[in-house]
Amino acid sequence: MFHPLTKAEKKMRVMGIDPGSRCTGFGIVEEIENDLRAIHWSSVRNTPKHSFPERLKRIYDELMFAMKKFRPDVVAVENLFYAVNVKTVIKLGQTRGVTLLAAVNCGIELAEYSPLEIKQSVVGYGRADKNQVCNMVAALLNLKEKPEPFDASDALAAAICHIHHSGLQQKIKLARR
């Protein structure tokens, strides 16, 4: 049953994004009075038949659409990680670039977290595998089914990570007063 928010209730809506040129996951998580709820999750899937610029445009367009539709307060993006293949890092950097551009063009605040920070925040272990992250995301959001693909569950994890971090930051600010 839907009920309007009272002034005492605090609400935050965060869009998490796990950028990738083949598959970019995104998910929207809302926090109302310490209760987390998944609003939506999906992924932008590209195929090798698309040129790389076409992939970037498709990712940008779909993220812009989702940002305008779901109107998050903050976008939490997974940061770059170490990789051996230089070409892969460059493509991931370009994919992150269109992700950041979409958020900035929508006027949405950005937050960036490393994969280690996200896993630590959600699972409690920075080296957790994708299955562990997916299972914990499903548990934290009280989902009946696991969010798929892993890119979408990773994106939801990024959103949850930001909610955890922003709550901690608020407590630190209050403690300093």
Long-range contacts of 88-97 (CB under 8 A, 24+ apart): 91/21, 91/52, 92/19, 92/20, 92/21, 94/21, 94/52, 94/56, 95/19, 95/20, 95/21, 95/24, 95/55, 95/56, 95/59, 96/19
SS (H, E, C) 88-156: HHHHHHHHHHHHHHHHHHCCCEEEEECHHHHHHHHCCCCCCCHHHHHHHHHHHCCCCCCCCCHHHHHHH
One of 31, 78, 117, 154 is an active-site residue; which one?
78
Residue 78 among the catalytic residues: yes
Whether 154 sits among the annotated catalytic residues: the reply is no
SS3 69: helix
Which of 30, 31, 117, 151 is the catalytic position?
A: 151
Q: Which of 18, 30, 117, 154 is catalytic?
A: 18
For residue 145, indicate whether it is catalytic.
no
The catalytic residue positions are: 18, 78, 151
